[in-house]
Structure 1
Amino acid sequence: MKFDVRRDFDERLLQVEASDLHRFLTGPTVFDLRRNGVQPFFVSTLLHGNETSGWDAVRRFIADTSDASIVLFIGNVRAAAQAMRHLPDEVDFNRIWRQQPWRDDLNDLLERYQPWCGIDIHNNSGPNPHYSVITDQHESTLALASIFSNRVIFTHHTLDILAHAISPHCPSLTVETGTVDDLQSAQRAYDLLTRLNEIRRVPMSPKHELEAYETIGIVKVEHENGSLENFPQFDETLKESSFSTLAAGSPFVNCLPSGWRVSVLDPAHSLDLTDEFFEFRERRAFLKREIVMSMFTHTPILALQDCVCYFLTSTSLARG
């Protein structure tokens, strides 16, 4: 699949909400908004159609910044029209970038435009502090991450995510802002874009110390028949516990109805770690060990399409 590449940006789009972009764009679209003599940076938004703060930040940035030099990728406008992560008949747009034809199309685009960094903007489905996700610990990547937040998650698993696919070409981040209804989500993304446009190169080193975590498990939920009915009841404290330490013995699932399974997979999805993390008693699940959690959601469709949350551990970054 070739991206729809456009050189001209229709200024009417600056007034268009994410849910209406499908009226103007036929699918994944690249806007070549480079300025002569100015190396661009790459920005991606709406890989998940229900994560709209990135689009709000980008359109404000374009409206406010006459000297911007960017390559803009707008992802899943069909899903955005339905306020969904992705439609039932679609792939997850942030889990495809090692697959063909997406991989070659992206590599061709990046080789042509030579961006100096790549930023993929997302929202969280629950309350989370703003943070970045990185897939390498190069000094340039850490320096880029420090512009957005002092909090960073390093992950060995890539799940075909866009930021990892960009990383051979330039330093790249997945930027995780807050929820879509938090106005600070779009503001923080806008501030990042503005700062990148000002500096136009990756800093030599991080601007401050980074609070670093590493992904050690992915919590999944599934029903044996694919049902959404009688969704498990997760402990109410979890939705406010992102990046907090949860003690061993803490309740995690308060009611696990018949037919449902909650599991923990290692980041590469090759090992089932459920018995290491959970003890099950009377249709409840309790933590066996202390963990840090991020990106928790109890929304059934989001949990089924992606995951319930990630389990993390604090880590030291090996700069290289």
Structure 2
Amino acid sequence: MNDPSPRTLGRSALEWLDQLQKPTIIRVAGRDRSRTRAMATLLHGNEPSGLLALHRWLLEQHTPAVNMLFLLGGIYPAKIPPTLSWRQLPDGRDLNRCFKEPFEGEEGAIARAMLVELHNAKPECLLDVHNTSGSGPAFAVSITNDAAHQALTSLFTDRLIITDLRLGALMEYSEQEVPTVTIECGGSQDEQAHELAYEGLVRYCSRPDVLSLEKADWDVTVLRNPIRVELAPEATIEYRLEPTGHADLTFPPDIEHRNFGIVSPDEPLGWVGKKGLGILTAIGHNRKENMTQVLQVRDGKIYPAQALRTFMITTNPVIAKSDCLFYAVKATGEPFFDAKRSGGSSRTSVLRELICDSRCGRWIYQY
């Protein structure tokens, strides 16, 4: 779609989505035709804030400061009834894990086509707008920490997660020397998340310069290399006020309130069954696994092994099992495993390959 008029956009974002039949590219001409900025959204079909913000922005017929390229990747899962409830196709792959070779399957083809569009457009920067898997404050994620990435982050939030973990996500386009940031706007059902996505989009499109803001204009808190806590494929999880004894892991229904809060070693996170912590793995960016630094069990309850800052906690059991339970860093914002102290470098420990082991459906990381 090129410079779409309001009559082509439907009366609502849902009506517009109903009209879209396949992954879609939208181009809007800017005042400065020599430059382009890009934004992807709806890579996950159940994360609507970016779609809602984009539809609202397009209806208002803004003229952006520069040319804008918008990429809507997850149209197919988003359209499955009930609309905007499926992260990916029932038998499909997570699109935001497919932005690397060998680009297999339908999702791989979509990812490759999006990368071709970006290569041809040569944008000066790229945003990937998402919702968090649970309710909580907004934050950004990137693989690069410099002034440009912090400036992009500050258009939406004041929290930036830096990770050396490679999953085949679109934000890894930053390795093409194009400043790239993932924006996690907050919960998919939170009106505040939708508004944040819209206000950030307006700033992103309207400002002549989004990569070198004055330091006085932003103050971004940076958290480095969080631990990713995952649940074993065969394990069971429940969200209850008290454990029933039937699940391997029980979290309270309000566990999302822990997002970006600091949890002390005296505050329980939940309960484990007879298998204990054996159902969990703590995966660092350099593949070091040391659960004893992250969690401990006392009298059947899970406690932090040290003060933690947790985020991306979800109460969706499907996401908890297929993706991860949560991420965590030390309360100070520092990582658990420091590559410099362990004698390696973050660059040499970057994960080079991501393959799916069909025997267990788990992601296997290789250097």
Alpha-carbon contact 1:234-1:255 (below 8 Å) kept: no
- Answer yes or no: is the 8 Å Cα contact 1:18–1:52 preserved in 2: no
Distance 1:176 1:227, change over 3 A: closer
Does residue 43 of structure 2 align to residue 47 of structure 1?
A: yes
Q: 1:9 to 1:89 in 2, by over 3 A?
A: farther
TM-score calculated relative to the size of structure 1: 0.85
- Map Cα deviations across residues 278-310 of structure 1 (whole Å, 9 max, x no partner): 223554322211110001012111111211110
Q: Give the 3 Å change call, closer, same or farther, for CA 258–279 of structure 1 in structure 2.
A: closer
The aligned counterpart of 1:81 is 79
Q: Which of 52, 56, 64 is 1:56 aligned to?
A: 52
Which runs of no fewer than 5 residues in structure 1 stay unpaired?
1-5
5 Å-filtered alignment, 1:254-293, equals: 254-256=271-273, 261-268=279-286, 270-281=287-298, 283-293=300-310
What does residue range 130-141 of structure 1 map to in structure 2 within 5 Å?
A: 130-141=138-149
Aligned residue in 2 for 1:143: 151
Match of 1:31 in 2: 26
Matches within 5 A, 1:211-226: 211-224=221-234
What is the rounded CA distance, in whole Å, between the counterparts of 1:312 and 1:271 in structure 2? 14
Cα offset for 1:73?
0.6
| Pairing 1:191–2:208 present | no
Cα distance in 2, alignment partners of residues 43 and 163 from structure 1? 11
Shift of 1:166: 4.4
Tell me whether 165-174 or 16-25 shows the greater mean CA deviation.
Answer: 16-25
One-letter amino acid of the structure 1 residue matched with residue 29 of structure 2: R
Q: CA offset at residue 315 of structure 1?
A: 4.4
Match of 2:11 among 8, 15, 32: 15
Query: For residues 221 and 237 of structure 2, what CA distance do their matches in structure 1 show?
Result: 39
> 10-19 vs 34-43, which deviates more?
10-19
From the superposition, tell whether residues 38 and 65 of structure 1 become closer, same or farther in structure 2 (CA, over 3 Å).
farther
Q: Deviations over 1:250-282 (max 9, x none)?
A: 3223243669822221135x3333233222355
> Secondary structure of 1:15's partner?
coil
> Within 1, Cα distance between the matches of 2:236 and 2:94?
18
Secondary structure, in 3 states, of the residue corresponding to 1:115? Answer: coil
Q: How far off its partner does 1:134 sit?
A: 1.7
Q: Is the 8 A contact 1:235 1:251 kept in 2?
A: no
Mapped partners of 1:14, 1:113: distance in 2: 27
Please tell me the root mean square deviation across aligned C-alpha atoms, in Å: 2.8
What is the letter of the counterpart of residue 232 of structure 1? L
> Normalising by the residue count of structure 2, what TM-score does the alignment of the two structures yield?
0.75
Please tell me whether the aligned partners of residues 313 and 326 of structure 2 are also in contact (alpha carbons under 8 angstroms).
Answer: yes
Q: Conserved in 1, the CA contact under 8 Å of 2:9 and 2:16?
A: no
Query: Whole-Å Cα distance in 1 between the matches of residues 310 and 316 of structure 2?
Result: 16
**Which segment drifts farther, 112-121 or 231-240?**
231-240
Asked which structure has the greater RCO (Cα within 8 Å, sep 6+), the reply is 1
Equivalent in the alignment of 2:124 = 116
The more displaced of 276-285 and 41-50 is 276-285
The 2-side partners of 1:280 and 1:204 are apart by: 46
Distance 1:246 1:60 in 2: 38
Cα 1:79/1:233, change in 2 over 3 Å:
same
Q: CA deviation at 1:22?
A: 5.7
| Contact 1:143–1:204 (CA under 8 A) maintained in structure 2 | yes
Cα pair 1:18 1:81 within 8 Å, conserved: no
